Amino acid sequence: MELDNIDNILEKYFDAETTIAEEKALKEYFVNGSVKPEHEKYAPMFTHLANAKEEKFTKQIPLQQKKSNAKWFSAAAVAMLLLGLYLGNNYIEQKRIEKEQAAYAYQETKRALNLLAQNFNKGKEKIAYLKEFEQTKQKIYNNN
């Protein structure tokens, strides 16, 4: 490979514009060839990439999954939902009973006030008779 062309290919490589053939040529230049002193700073990167390609993962991966608490979480969520529905129904029922009691108290108060108004009207009629009696009595006493 022409050493003058390496600078152009390196520039393209760092701009991510190289082809696969150009990348192979760079790898060969840095791994197998004699590297110019101004390019030696890039040599560790290309040798590492070549070595990294050969690495293999040797650790065993366990295939068994740990038991999760998802069943407990879902059971707890269902229990909370049912508790919420139960308490919500109790609250609604309690409010309905309070509303009925308030309506009953209103009707009883209305009935009691009507009864009181009727008795006041009777008393008012009696006072009118008493006034008439007083006027008549005054006429009798004044004539004598």
Residue 8 binned pLDDT confidence (cut-offs 50, 70, 90): confident
CA distances 78 to 36, 72, 82, 84, Å, are 71, 10, 6, 10
Q: Whole-prediction pTM value? A: 0.37
Q: How many whole angstroms separate alpha carbon 73 and alpha carbon 79?
A: 10
Look at residue 1 and tell me whether its pLDDT is greater than 60: no
Q: How many CA atoms lie within 13 A of 141 on its CB side?
A: 6
Look at residue 128 and tell me whether its pLDDT is greater than 80: no
Rg of the chain on CA atoms, in Å: 53
Look at residue 123 and tell me whether its pLDDT is greater than 80: no
Cβ pair 26, 49 in contact under 8 A: no
- Token pair listed for 69: 């608490």
